[in-house]
Structure formats: structure tokens, C-alpha cells
Amino acid sequence: MTALRVWLGDPNPASRRQARLGQLWLAWRRIRRNRLAMAGLVIVAVLLVVAAFAPWIAPHDPLVQDLSRRLLPPGTPGNLLGTDDFGRDILSRIIFGARITLYIIALVAVTAPVLGLLIGTVAGYFGGWVDATLMRLTDIFLAFPRLILALALVAVLGPGIENAVLAIALTAWPPYARVARAETLTVRSSDYIAAIRLQGASAARIIAGHVVPMCLPSVIIRVTLDMAGVILIAAGLGFLGLGVLPPTPEWGLMISSGRKFLFEQWWVATMPGLAIFIVSLGFNLLGDGLRDVLDPRSASR
Amino acid sequence: MSFIEIDNLTVTFRAQGREVRAVEGVSLSVDERESYGLVGESGSGKSTILRAICGMAPVSGGSIRIAGKVLPAQRGRAFSADVQMVFQDPYASLHPRHTIDRTLSEPLAIHGMPDRDARVVQALVDVGLPPAFRFRYPHQLSGGQRQRVAIARALMLKPRILLLDEPTSALDASVQAEVLNLLSRLREEQGLTFLMVSHDLAVIDHMCDRIMVLQHGRTVEEISRDDLAKANMNTPYARSLFEASADRMLGSTTEPAR
């Protein structure tokens, strides 16, 4: 363990891999000092573990109905968080719902920021009419209310998890494009970009290898902070019946179905609501912590 | 015919309808393996001349020829292999998220050169840095070490001309001397032609064979090294510049600036 620590902290790394891992190690040490960020990281890690091992953790099958045991309150033996109107175990449904939530988050996280980064860096780097065209396009997308645009897309494409993800991704990229462009504008006129241009590098190489790494921290921070919003929009689409289709155990859908009994059997809607709340909080705390670690302005130059 | 020939160069910046002439009708010629200095106060257009050579400033008149050939509008890779530049601020000229190795091997990758590992190590040795620094990040180096890396990067493609934009003004005095000595040594070893900008006559005096004094984008006077040593100037402006740094220069023509 100590040998590994010495290897990671070596001021004179012997290989590219060691240099990169050493930097990661330093970032990890900075984030470990931030208690709230660690709390966020733990919540996200728990979400990952729960989603990965859902069939082994869940006490019941999330889809099996038992009408003799419907709407049982929390704390009932065998149904820790109670049952819903079809007698399905709420805890099991939340546990399996973590998979769907994570699936949506993962798909949005690999599509929207990539698209936003590409558009933002290209617009910022080239400037002129390229910039004007791309940024007006971004403005048009930004001008739409996010949920409404997602609703319209899902209404056209039909409900379903992939279409929900597509709708969210298409409405989520403009802020990333803005962040990436702003970052690109500060980087573009710097000496290190002038130097690489003078070495004869192509625009594609400069953008991919030199501009994007400078934009990445801001975008990653935005992504983690937006994850809470993505979960909420996915839940909102589910709630409106335009996202995931029943009987899939999706958190927003569960809240929607619990609405009917909100006053008598409050737990049916509250338990998935709490799950959404905790996971959103986790991502927000992690995002805040990452900002402290990754922000290029706070890091040493 | 000279190696670098700049004829009647004019650079005009346009911003918000206003025109600013940063350089006006400057002509100069530099022989191969010569070291030529451009001196002047801030805003005199000396750095703009270097940027104009690199295609980073809007040339509105005149011509720039290197080895007899007029430079194409898009400078291209052949130009990169011939002319390289060392920037003023070593804290701003290295990519903060790239290791030294990446910074030095990138030009080789762009130009498809073989033996990258060996060349990177050789380049570090050439500029007097230990090869163990190879995978460090710029923030793990001092200002002088960073400037050595920047010099190494400029020399990766084995250029014939090195443009130096106040290469030592961001460094403290003792490191300045080291970097200047390094540059002199490299010029000797690799047969480089220097075109150097500085506001400090002491630095220029140590490095350059001929000097051009600029003011408000125009040529004031061209002085040879001998004339500079004898304080033999024709114009009052050049004399006042000389007097500003004379105390550091007199009797130190063979020694580096402190």
C-alpha cells in the first residue's frame, strides 16, 4: 500500500500511465478532504451497487402482484417499505428502478455533453459565421422549455425509455455548448494554442487535443450538477405517462401511480420520491465537490 | 541575398471601425546564422513583426521572404519545420494539462517523424533538463525550467530560424542569464538564425550582432554591435534607450546580463 502511494506520488513519473494515475491520485486526495463531496460519492456508489446487484438485493420480484397484500404500510414484515396498489413490494421496485434511472443517466451523460462539447468548441475555436450559426442554433434550443420540448419529442416518437433518453439528450446539450464555447474563447488566444498552431497542427487536432481538455472540467461539473435535473425530467416524463411504460418499476411512474392514494396511503408515492431526492442530492454534492477539485481556475497553473 | 528579408512591412489591426497601424514600413534583412535584435518600448510593434512572420498578425502591406521565397498566406507545415517561436511567458505557453513528454512529442507526431522517444529525451538533454522530468506537468516545473521546455519544443522540428519574443523577461535575473547562455549555445550547435525581441538592451547586447530600434511601429535606427558597445548612436531616442540600461551593460559585453 505504501509502495503504491510512493509510486503514485513520485514527482518524476517514469511513464505516461504513472503520470496520469499520479494526477488522479492527487485529485482523489483533494476530494477526500471534502466531506460533503464524499457523502455524494457514497450515495452515487450505493446507487451503482444497488443497480448492479438488484436481483440479489431485492427481497421480492418487482413485477409479481399479490392483491391480498395491497397497500400495506411501511414496516410490515416482508415488505419493509410497504406495498403499492397491486400488492407489489415498494422496496424491490425502488431497487430495480435504480437500474432504469442509472440507464437513463448513463445514456444522457454519454450523448448530451459530447454533442455540446463538439458544438461549443468548434463554434468558439473558429469564430465568425461558424460561431454565429452554431450559437443561434443553440439559442433556439435553449429558448424551448426543456420539459415541453421533451414532451413534444416523446409525443411524436412514442413513449418508451429510449425515446425519453433521446428527448432529454436533445434538450440537455445547449448549456454544455455554451460552457464549452465560453471556455474555448478564453483558451483560444493563449500562447500554448498559438505554439501548437505554429507547429503546423490541424484544427481538428488542436480542438480535440488542446481545447477540449481545458473545457472538460467545467463540462464534467455541469454534467454532475445536471444529473439531478435529468433524473427529475425522466421521472416527470414517467409521471406524465410519456417516459417508461408500466409495469416497469421506474421512480417517476411509481410516484404517478401513488398519486391516487396520496392522503390515505402516503408511502406509495413518498418512497420513490425519497429515492429521487436522495440520488439527486448525491449527484449535486458530488458535482460541488468536483468543482473544487477540477476547476481550472482554482488548480495551480 | 539575405536569409530573412522583410520589405516595407505594414501591419494594420482593425477593431470596431478603428484602424491601428502597429507596424509601418519596416524593412530589415537578416543573414543566415546571424542574431538580429528588435528593441523598443511597449507598443513599438516589435512583437507584432514576429507575429506577422508567423502569420498571426494581419499584414496589410510589404513582403516577407525567407530564403528568397515569399511566404504563402497559409503558413503550412513546411514553414513550421523552418521557423519556430519561443514565447514571452513560460507560464502561458505550455499546455497546463499536457505532460512535458506530450508537449515535446506532439510536433513530431504532426510531422510524422520517427524515433519520438529518443528525440524527446535528446531534446531534454539538449536544453539541460534531466530526462526524469519527461512525464512531469508544467506546474511541477519552475519558470526557468518551463522556458527550457518551451525552447526544446521550438527546436523539436530542427528549424533554421528561431523567433524569440522576450524569452527572458518573465524570468528572474539569475535564471535569465542561464537561459540566454543556453540560447547562445544552441545557436552555435545547431546553426540557428535568431530574430529576437526585447525591451532590455542589456539582453539584446549579450545576444545580438545587429539591432533595430523601433518606436511607434517605425524604424528609428539600425545599430551594429560594435556601435552599441561604443555608445555610438545617431538618434536621441536610441541614446535614451541605451542610457536606461547602460549601467548594466558597460563592461559586460562578454558576460551575460545579470
Q: With an 8 Å Cβ cutoff, are B136 and A19 in contact?
A: yes
pLDDT of residue B248: 66
Output the nine-digit C-alpha cell for B134: 519527461
CA terminus-to-terminus distance, chain B: 36
Q: Does A220 touch chain B (CB under 8 A)?
A: no
Q: For residue A300, what pLDDT band results from cuts at 50, 70 and 90?
A: very low
User: What 3 state SS string does A241-300 have?
Assistant: CCCCCCCCCCHHHHHHHHHHHCCCCCHHHHHHHHHHHHHHHHHHHHHHHHHHHHCCCCCC
Q: What is the pLDDT of residues B64-117, one digit of tens each?
A: 888 888 888 888 888 888 899 999 888 888 998 888 999 999 999 998 888 888
Top-confidence residue, A177 or A224: A177
Asked if B140 lies within 8 A of A200 by C-beta distance, the reply is no
| Predicted local distance difference test score (pLDDT) of residue B256 | 46
The better pLDDT of the pair B38, B15 is held by: B38
Segment A89-116, tens digit of pLDDT: 888 888 888 888 888 888 888 889 999 9
Ramachandran class of B257: left when φ > 0, alpha when ψ lies in -120 to 50, beta otherwise: beta
Could you give the ipTM of this predicted complex? 0.86
Distance CA B108, CA A49 (A): 45
Measured CA distances, B175 to A79, A145, A277, B171, B228 (Å)? 73, 57, 57, 6, 24
Task: Say yes or no to pLDDT of A75 above 80.
Answer: no
Angle between helices B173-190 and B143-155 (to 10 degrees): 20
Band of residue A129 on the pLDDT scale cut at 50, 70, 90: very high
Chain A contact set for B137 (CB, 8 A):
19, 23
Compute and round to an integer the Cα radius of gyration of chain A.
23
Sole residue written with cell 429515492: A275
pLDDT tens for each residue of B154-181: 999 889 999 999 888 888 888 888 889 9
Query: CA-CA distance, B240 to B16, in Å (whole number)?
Result: 35
% of chain A exceeding 90 in pLDDT: 16
B96, B132, B136: residue with CB nearest A301 = B96
pLDDT score for A121: 93
Of A23, A195, A213, the CB nearest to B153: A195
Q: Which residues pair with residue B84 across a beta bridge?
A: B162
Check: CB of residue A137 under 8 Å from CB of residue A156: no
CA distance from start to end of chain A: 30
Of B89, B92, B135, nearest to A14 by CB-CB distance is: B135
Q: What is the pLDDT of residue A46?
A: 92
Cβ-Cβ contacts under 8 Å for B79 (sequence gap 6 or more): A200, B55, B71, B72
pLDDT at residue B254 greater than cutoff 80 = no
Q: Do B136 and A13 touch (CB under 8 A)?
A: yes
Contact A274, A204 (CB under 8 A): no
A45 has pLDDT over 90: yes
Interface of A with B in 26-85 (CB under 8 A): none
Q: Is A191 on the interface with B (CB under 8 A)?
A: yes
Contacts of A215 in chain B (CB under 8 A): none
**Which are the contacts of B182, defined by CB distance < 8 A and separation ≥ 6?**
B127, B128, B148, B151
The separation between CA B117 and the C-alpha centre of its own chain, rounded to angstroms, equals: 27
Confidence band, pLDDT 50/70/90 cuts, at residue A298? low
Rounded Cα distance, A269 and A235, in Å: 12
Parallel, antiparallel, or unpaired: how do β-strands B218-224 and B210-215 relate?
antiparallel
pLDDT tens figures, A229-253: 888 788 788 777 777 777 888 888 8
Beta-strand pair B83-86/B35-39: unpaired
Residue A301: band (very low, low, confident or very high) from pLDDT cuts 50, 70, 90 = very low
* Region of B86 on the Ramachandran plot (φ > 0 left; ψ -120 to 50 alpha; else beta): beta
> Has residue A266 got a pLDDT over 60?
yes
C-alpha cell at A237: 416524463
Which residues of chain B does A19 touch, with a Cβ-Cβ cutoff of 8 Å? 99, 101, 135-137
What is residue B247's predicted lDDT score, i.e. its pLDDT?
67
What pTM, to 2 d.p., does this model score? 0.82
Residues A96, A249 contacting (CB under 8 angstroms): yes
Contacts of B81 in chain A (CB under 8 A): 200
Mean per-residue pLDDT over chain A, rounded: 84
Nearest chain B CA: its distance from A206 CA (Å): 11
Helix (H) or strand (E) holding A71: none
CB contact under 8 A, A18 and B135: yes
Alpha-carbon dihedral sign for residues A145, A149, A155, A161 = negative
How many A×B Cβ pairs under 8 Å? 86
